[in-house]
Structure formats: structure tokens, C-alpha cells
Amino acid sequence: MAKTPPTRGIRHVALLCADIVAMERFYCDVLGYEVEWRPSAAELYLTRGEDNLALHALAAPRPDVVESKLDHIGLLVSRPEDVDAWAAYLAERRVTVDTSPRTHRDGARSFYARDPEGNRLQFLYHPPISG
């Protein structure tokens, strides 16, 4: 295989949404994303830092869409204490939090929460890449 240039990581995720309005409120009002572009009522592009998140309304079942195998989306933070701050903030907002923050054997610290459609989000401090 030929040597390829390095990537900067996965900075773009696109989610199919049953309720795009609820998803916009969550990602903008709770997580602090901003609307970058709204090409239609069924498409929305959000940004935060170096992230780009696309939300696409799923109006009807699509034969080309198979059940997702997505386990979770990771949101990287700069410090271990940022993980705890996000957990407390989301709990105050009554966001579903699956796990409490914990430190892993490799020094990473994280917890899992859910967006309005059940997608699992990991808030993660990971020493090699968190800065």
C-alpha cells in the first residue's frame, strides 16, 4: 500500500434523525454547536471547534439504509476535570447519562450519555490526543 498523508481524525459525522428539530435543540442548546448551513428543512450542518455534524431528517424508511452499527461518537476534551464538568452539566439538563465518569487504565477519563434519538456520546479525555 502506498504511503498516504496523515489525517486529522474523524471530524465529520452525519446522523439520520427521526426528529431533526429535537436533535438541533440538543446539539446547539445543550452541547454548544452552531448552525453552519441549513440547505433545507431536512438538512442541517452544525459546527463546534473542529467538528462538523450533519443532521438529515429521515422522513420515511429508506431501503438503502441498514440498521446502524455505530457504537458511539467521541467528543474529545482537553483535561480530565472537563469530563466531570460535562457529566455534571448534562445531569443538570436531564440528559440521559449511561455511565459515571471514570479513569481508565491508560489514564483516559470518560463517560457516556445519549442524544435525543439514543445515539451514544462519549465525553473523553485521552492523554495522547487531548493536548
Condensed to tens digits (0 to 9), the pLDDT of residues 63-121 reads: 665 667 688 999 999 999 999 999 999 999 999 999 999 999 989 999 999 999 999 99
Condensed to tens digits (0 to 9), the pLDDT of residues 21-31 reads: 999 999 999 99
For the domain made up of 9-60, the CATH class stated in words is: alpha beta
In the chain, ranges of CATH 3.10.180.10 domains:
9-60, 72-131
What residues contact 123, with CB distance under 8 A and at least 6 apart?
Answer: 75, 77, 82, 83, 86, 87, 101, 110, 111, 112, 113
The model scores a pTM over 0.85: no
Phi and psi for 19 in degrees, rounded to 5? -130, 90
* CATH number for domain 72-131, candidates 3.90.1150.10, 3.10.180.10, 3.30.450.40, 1.10.287.1260: 3.10.180.10
pLDDT category, 131, cuts 50, 70, 90?
A: confident
Condensed to tens digits (0 to 9), the pLDDT of residues 111-122 reads: 999 999 999 999
